[in-house]
Chains A and B, each alone.
Chain A
């Protein structure tokens, strides 16, 4: 779900950069010393997950996992995504440095919203089925919102990109299902072995 360089217009790039920078600064402010190893591990997982591609006809999509990342990290998902996307741009030419702000925002904002919307539910409940269901919803919600942000970025550059945004949304429907299942499984597993991480 990286937008490559040379597609978006200047105002969209600038807006994305400013919004992402705000999130990153706030995320670093909220980053506690004890939380750094967790952020590092989640960042590593995000880095590797984005390299797992799923060929779907003409489209080529990859895992994103921003929902579970947001649930675990909260606002610190912003600096985590910054590091991941910088490395993706430098090592694999995914995205690019000028679109770093927009890409970071499109992935990290839905993650933060997942944290606020679903953390209270995951913290309170003990039932596995509810936890798994919450994970599925988190997977759908985070990807859906990321696609919406991506579509908005493209549409803000030019209305002719609306069709492209539709294709991207359609091609990510299987990813939403896969991510929902993965997120649900991870939440249930963490609740069993390390519930304090979800707390």
Chain B
């Protein structure tokens, strides 16, 4: 038997698989994370939209890219504390930019409650429209009188 062939046989049968294939793999289940759920104002989720996450350490290069899920949600795992910037783009001209503050324990600092409900916004908007044009009417009336 030729010596080279014997060496091949030895490698094939006796060297452990882990050595032959270079890298072993292991995995661990993780829970939690930092996330965002993005909806249109009528409650429709922004499904499968492009998401970019920028860490506090580097605001130029994305820390992570991906897509929202069917329900408009996206999760990532912050590795440093600070302001994390997230952009969600539906590719149709709608782009959401949001900042999530992460504390040194890498947990999310809850944001202060802001924004209006759809009904509140509609009532406020209509009131402001008639208020603004009421002022314009008063002004044009004064100009006309002069």
Contacts and interface: CB of A to CB of B under 8 A. Distances in A.
B41 A47 contact: no
Interface in A49-87: 51, 53, 55, 58-60, 83-84, 87
A87 B44 contact: no
Interface residues of B, number: 36
A93 to B, nearest CB: 8
Interface residues on A, range: 35 or more
A185 interface: no
A177 interface: no
Interface stretch (A17-25, A31-39, A121-129, A190-198): A31-39
Given A36-B140, A43-B133, A87-B125, A51 B94 contact: no
B140 A60 contact: no
A168 B140 contact: no
Given A58-B48, A83-B132, A47 B92 contact: no
Interface of A: 1-7, 31-33, 36-37, 39-40, 43-44, 47-48, 51, 53, 55, 58-60, 83-84, 87-88, 91-94, 150, 154, 164, 167-168, 171
Question: Top 6 closest A-B pairs, CB basis?
Answer: A40-B133, A4-B95, A91-B121, A33-B140, A36-B137, A53-B42
